Amino acid sequence: MGNLNLPQIAAAQAQKHQTSNDADDKLDLALTAQLTVDMTSADATLTATQFREAFAFVCSGHGVARILTVAQVSRPFGVVNSGTGAVTVRRGTTNIAVAAGESAVFQTDGTADGLRRLASAGAVTADPYDVGASLVGIPGASAVLMRYPFPRQVIFPAGLTGSRGVCATPATATATFLIKKNGSNVGTMVFATGSPNNVASFTMGSQTTFAAGDILTVVAPASPDATLADIGFGLAGTR
């Protein structure tokens, strides 16, 4: 069957074209397909089938160092580290690191520890993905300013770096808006007393990944500020 387990035409086989087409499809995947590997909460191990049916493996969602273990199959492949922690590519006892934001091409030789790096590339630039909303007037008690279902995975950095919030009329007292993931608090948008320069500050304790289908909500304070009005904000993420 070979390293990629491509279907083979048998002697006197009927429907030879179907076997040939199946083999072509598998070869196409092995040369061109991309598989996203979610490493938000744990290391990852590729099955032999996963390893054979894609060329590029995009490691995403992690803010700490992770390990990507590949199968004992002979083939070239690529790894893209789109997280903010290093990824160690592992085959048996061989470990090769790919720094955060970088990518590399590897080759496995089919032996237990057979792994080597063929080439490396510089930092990967993640595509921006920003969401935002605005409200005219003074927000009501616990008003939901945004309820956004993500159609694809989006990552927000710790501290919500790059996000912006403004108001037309400053707050009388500190007003804290809750930023939630599927109903759980993950960050805040805060307009301080007097809202210096009419802008907000943001908090988010750690990098937060929203998967496709996750819902982001922004909720106003339970006790509305007397003057804070005409709010607009944009949350800066990447995909």
Shared domain for 72 and 171, answered yes or no, is no
Q: What CATH number should be reported for the domain holding residue 94?
A: 2.60.120
Is 93 part of a structural domain of the chain? yes
CA pair distance 31, 124, nearest whole angstrom:
21
Is 233 part of a structural domain of the chain? yes
Distances (CA, A) of 71 to 23, 68, 107: 20, 10, 11
Distances (CA, A) of 8 to 26, 43, 45, 51, 122: 12, 35, 28, 20, 39
Shared domain for 152 and 65, answered yes or no, is no
Q: Is the entire prediction scored with pTM above 0.75?
A: no
Query: What are the tens digits of pLDDT across the range 80-122?
Result: 999 988 999 999 999 999 988 899 999 999 999 999 999 887 7
> Which residue among 103, 121, 139 closes a domain?
121
Shared domain for 99 and 138, answered yes or no, is no
Using only C-alpha atoms, what is the Rg of the chain? Answer: 24
Shared domain for 111 and 152, answered yes or no, is no
Distances (CA, A) of 37 to 55, 121, 122, 127: 13, 19, 20, 17
pLDDT at 213 over 80: yes
Query: What are the tens digits of pLDDT across the range 44-88?
Result: 999 998 998 889 899 999 989 999 999 999 989 999 999 988 999
Is 2 part of a structural domain of the chain? no
Is 168 part of a structural domain of the chain? yes
Residue 12 pLDDT level (bands cut at 50, 70, 90): low
User: Residue range 207-216: average pLDDT?
Assistant: 93
What is the count of structural domains for the chain?
2
Higher pLDDT, 162 or 6: 162
Taking 3-state DSSP, the helix, strand and coil percentages for the chain, each rounded to the nearest 5, stand at 10, 45, 40
Shared domain for 133 and 234, answered yes or no, is yes
Shared domain for 84 and 65, answered yes or no, is yes
The pLDDT assigned to 168 comes to: 97
Is 20 part of a structural domain of the chain? no
User: Residue range 2-9: average pLDDT?
Assistant: 47
Higher pLDDT, 141 or 31: 141
Domain that holds residue 62: 33-121
Phi, psi of 48 (to 5 degrees): -60, -40
pLDDT at 14 over 90: no
Residue 33 pLDDT level (bands cut at 50, 70, 90): confident
CA pair distance 167, 175, nearest whole angstrom:
12
Shared domain for 165 and 90, answered yes or no, is no
Is 157 part of a structural domain of the chain? yes
Shared domain for 66 and 159, answered yes or no, is no
Is 22 part of a structural domain of the chain? no
> Which residue among 96, 121, 146 closes a domain?
121
Residue 30 pLDDT level (bands cut at 50, 70, 90): very low
User: Residue range 202-222: average pLDDT?
Assistant: 95
The pLDDT assigned to 13 comes to: 42
Shared domain for 85 and 158, answered yes or no, is no
Shared domain for 228 and 174, answered yes or no, is yes
Is 54 part of a structural domain of the chain? yes
pLDDT at 37 over 80: yes
Name the average pLDDT for the chain: 87
Shared domain for 117 and 152, answered yes or no, is no
User: Residue range 188-212: average pLDDT?
Assistant: 94
> Which residue among 70, 97, 121 closes a domain?
121
Shared domain for 176 and 107, answered yes or no, is no
Question: Which 8-state DSSP code applies to residue 14?
Answer: S
